């Protein structure tokens, strides 16, 4: 998180919303890391157990998935 903010040249206060998704976002300690940093009011959640699968399915529909590889 620190690296991403630094790379973008942003302070935590410049972030309007944080969207937590994926099963790990249900872990209380993980959520606390984000709420401590950004505040409860800026945290949004949804599709915790399905959003990653949906995203991967959308990538799978692409003609060239190489851009998504590491």
Per-residue CA distances from 52 to 36, 58, 67 (Å): 24, 10, 17
Q: According to the model, what pLDDT value does residue 42 have?
A: 96
In this predicted structure, the answer to whether residue 9 has a pLDDT above a threshold of 80 is yes
**Does the pTM exceed 0.75?**
no
Q: What is the pLDDT of residues 24-38, one digit of tens each?
A: 889 999 999 999 999
Give domain limits for the chain.
2-64
Q: What is the pLDDT of residues 30-70, one digit of tens each?
A: 999 999 999 999 999 988 889 888 988 999 898 888 888 76
How far is residue 43's CA from residue 37's CA, in Å, rounded to a whole number? Answer: 10
CA atoms within 13 A on the CB side of 24: 5
Question: Per-residue b/e over 13-25, b at no fewer than 16 CB within 10 Å?
Answer: eeeeebebbbeeb
């Amino acid at each position: 998180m620190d690296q991403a903010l630094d790379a973008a040249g942003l302070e935590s206060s410049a972030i309007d919303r944080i969207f937590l998704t994926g099963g790990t976002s249900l872990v209380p300690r993980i959520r606390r890391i984000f709420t401590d940093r950004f505040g409860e009011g800026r945290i949004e959640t949804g599709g915790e157990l399905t959003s990653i699968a949906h995203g991967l399915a959308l990538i799978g529909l692409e003609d060239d998935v190489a851009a998504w590889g590491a």
